Amino acid sequence: MSTQTVDTRVRQRDAPPSVIARLRRAGSDDTPQQWHRGMTLIATISLFIGTRAAWTQAMLIHPPVAGVISVCYAGILVCAVLALAVRGRRALVRVDAAVLVLAVALVICGYWLDHAGTDEGVLTAQAASEILHGRPVYGQPWPWLFGTPKSGLTKTMSGGADLTYGYPPLTALLAAPVHAVLHSTAAATAVTTGALIAGAVTLWLLLPVPWRSAATAVCLGFGFLPNYARAGYPAIVALALLVPVVVRWPATGAGGRLGRSGVLRAVCLGAACAAQQLAWFLLPFLLIGLYAVRRGELGARPATALLARFTGVAALTWAAINAYFAAQNFTTWWEGLLLPLTQKAILHGQGLMGISYYFTDGSSRLDYYSHASMLLIAGLLTATVLFVRRLGAALTVLPWLAFYLATRSQDGYYLMMTPLWLAAAATVPASSLASAWEPRITRIPRLSGRSARTAVVAALVAPALLCAGIAAASPPPLDMTLTAHLTGGARPAITSVRVRAVNTTDTALTPHFASRLGHSASNWWTITAGPTTIAPHSTAVYVVRPKGGRRALPTSQDQHMYLIAVTGTPMTITTASLGNATDPD
């Protein structure tokens, strides 16, 4: 025994009893882990994000709400102190719960201030109204819903726009009774905001105690998910339903029995697929992982039977929710569900398609981005089968990689499901996948078994990268020369553009024109002169006018305006700058 240890014990023996008690508590198992304190503190700090803007808005239109937000500020400060000062685990859990309550209060305040919704919320509210009145939901255009700036219009590459409901029906069904009371878009945004809060609380309860405040931060604190909920995105309902499915998913069907827990997970999975299409992309990855874990435990036949029961319950749930709408008109219902995949919406997002949309003059093979996305999904599914012990914990992230190659690759597709990433990180350790079944591949000469599987996956992913490369490297289909006519005045505006377009491809093209300033395109311009179709290797002259008769030029020299010409079949885009194409009237 060292002299230092003896001296420490002597000092403790001679210390007052209260000091000895504190020393014992400090060294006991009841002391919170330091990273738990850090997680609580991060969640507390995350509540500041967006709170000032909400308070400023509330002071203008709803001062009582501003008062509630001011009280929440005090709560945030107190929780930050307590997160670093409390000494017991139970006390820190109470602080975690207080942070969750504050987050919920701020989300409700945000909803109270802004619940008008965007195009998703407006469409869902209209669908709820149609359900209440017994009218068809799918295949019905509702152009009057898109008259406000917040109600964004999804334009299609064929020169039209998506004016119909293109989501599974669950969110509209949930919004219908609320719409009977509120009679506005607030009914849809109330459902999605309530679903987000319910999902956050569910995740908080299901996670291990030190991880709980991370659920508060990811679901409610950073601000991006509450924004999507206030906009009325049906994906938020799907997210909330997927939380109990993903938490500890390798335990589903353990021992060969689904039990109540497994049946509940299957019901939630089916309901999530009936809420929004993003759940469809997670489904095959989850089923692959579940089969591999159960086969490693039970063998092939029992695992197959278990997976069939699980999938059957999910499918019956999905069918029950959709039955009424399918019976109304099967064709329009089915086309409505597939609309986001088949509509050929105009390019948008932060993914690889930005090469063709933002950084080059266009591409004559945009379809190859879609091919690349589908091929990447196939490659990732194969990789999950072959390396489930390694990739199983990441199967809540893998599906969204494919969206990076798609023509619609906006960040919402990635971040709206991020709470599921947290659920997997906290509840799916590597040990839960250690005995999962992985198929053997016949050995390739000079390659080990693992290297052979890696080679197979690389061979499956390579076509996706090749297709993306073809799309990005292809030249634009049209060679456009522009002459823009301007109005005078304090702020000049374009009134029309003369376009000389040369079709350099072997395919007849039907172009549609719009302007782009920044990341998104304007409404379609009107073609006042010029042919509908340009024959292969021929030249056509168009005169196009912006909607409303004028398009204001940028006020800053750092901003650049472009004219784009797109076609739907095949999907192509050509971009030309309007900066040096002016001809003042």
Are 163 and 169 in contact, with CB atoms under 8 Å apart?
Answer: no
| pLDDT digit string, tens, across residues 157-199 | 998 888 899 999 999 999 999 999 988 999 999 999 999 999 9
Amino acid at 520: S
Model confidence at 89, in pLDDT bands (50, 70, 90)?
very high
**Cα 34 vs. chain centroid, distance in angstroms?**
32
The predicted pLDDT at position 8 comes to: 46
Amino acid at 43: A
Are 361 and 479 in contact, with CB atoms under 8 Å apart?
Answer: no
SS3 248: coil
Helix and strand totals (H; E) in the chain: 22, 14
The rounded mean pLDDT for the chain is 90
ω into residue 168 within 30 of 0, thus cis?
A: no
Count the neighbouring beta carbons within 10 Å of the beta carbon of residue 404.
18
* Interior/surface letters 265-296, b for 16+ CB within 10 angstroms, e for the rest: bbbbbbbbbbbbbbbbbbbebbbbbbbbbbbb
Instruction: Tell which residue, 390, 578, 406, has the closest CA to residue 483.
Output: 578
SS3 542: strand
Instruction: Tell which residue, 176, 480, 171, has the closest CA to residue 322.
Output: 171
SS3 527: strand
Model confidence at 1, in pLDDT bands (50, 70, 90)?
very low
The predicted pLDDT at position 5 comes to: 47
Count the neighbouring beta carbons within 10 Å of the beta carbon of residue 450.
13
The partner residues of 348 in beta bridges, in order of sequence, read: 408
Q: How far apart are the first and last CA of the chain?
A: 97
Is the Cα dihedral 336, 341, 343, 346 positive or negative? positive
Count the neighbouring beta carbons within 10 Å of the beta carbon of residue 344.
20
Are 576 and 563 in contact, with CB atoms under 8 Å apart?
Answer: yes
Q: What would the mean pLDDT of 261-289 be, rounded to a whole number?
A: 97
| pLDDT digit string, tens, across residues 383-434 | 999 899 999 999 999 999 999 999 998 888 889 999 999 999 999 999 999 9
The predicted pLDDT at position 486 comes to: 86
The predicted pLDDT at position 151 comes to: 66
Q: What would the mean pLDDT of 33-57 be, rounded to a whole number?
A: 93
The predicted pLDDT at position 533 comes to: 95
| pLDDT digit string, tens, across residues 299-353 | 999 999 999 999 999 999 999 999 999 999 999 999 999 998 888 999 998 999 9
Phi, psi of 180 (to 5 degrees): -65, -20
Are 292 and 437 in contact, with CB atoms under 8 Å apart?
Answer: yes
Q: Residue 132: which H helix or E strand, with range?
A: helix 119-132
The predicted pLDDT at position 17 comes to: 63
Q: Angle 396-255-244 (CA atoms, 0-180°, nearest 5)?
A: 35
Q: Tokens 């690759």 identify what position? A: 409
DSSP state of 444: P
Strands 582-584 and 478-487, how do they pair?
parallel
- The tokens for 454 are 């890696």
When computed from its CA atoms, the radius of gyration of the chain, rounded to whole angstroms, is: 28
- The tokens for 155 are 């334009």
Instruction: Tell which residue, 358, 336, 404, 346, has the closest CA to residue 166.
Output: 336
* Interior/surface letters 3-23, b for 16+ CB within 10 angstroms, e for the rest: eeeeeeeeeeeeeeeeeeeee
Percentage above 70 pLDDT, the chain: 91
Edge-to-edge order in the sheet of strand 572-577? 362-363, 572-577, 561-567, 512-517
The partner residues of 577 in beta bridges, in order of sequence, read: 562
pLDDT over 60 (residue 460): yes
The predicted pLDDT at position 548 comes to: 85
**Residue partners of 361: CB distance under 8 A and separation at least 6:** 475, 476, 574, 575, 576
| pLDDT digit string, tens, across residues 491-502 | 788 999 999 999
Q: Please state which of the ranges 402-406, 504-508, 577-581 shows the lowest mean pLDDT.
A: 577-581
Q: What would the mean pLDDT of 209-220 be, rounded to a whole number?
A: 96
- The tokens for 93 are 């859990």
Cα separation, 188 vs 404, whole angstroms: 29
Model confidence at 363, in pLDDT bands (50, 70, 90)?
very high
The predicted pLDDT at position 144 comes to: 87
Cα separation, 295 vs 250, whole angstroms: 11
The predicted pLDDT at position 3 comes to: 47
pLDDT over 50 (residue 547): yes
Are 321 and 176 in contact, with CB atoms under 8 Å apart?
Answer: no
Amino acid at 181: V
Are 12 and 20 in contact, with CB atoms under 8 Å apart?
Answer: yes
Three-state helix/strand/coil letters over 276-309: CCHHHHHHHHHHHHHHHHHHHHHCHHHHHHHHHH
Q: What is the CB-side half-sphere exposure of residue 508 using CA atoms within 13 A?
A: 5
The predicted pLDDT at position 147 comes to: 67
Cα separation, 362 vs 526, whole angstroms: 21
The predicted pLDDT at position 554 comes to: 83
Are 82 and 67 in contact, with CB atoms under 8 Å apart?
Answer: no
Count the neighbouring beta carbons within 10 Å of the beta carbon of residue 29.
5
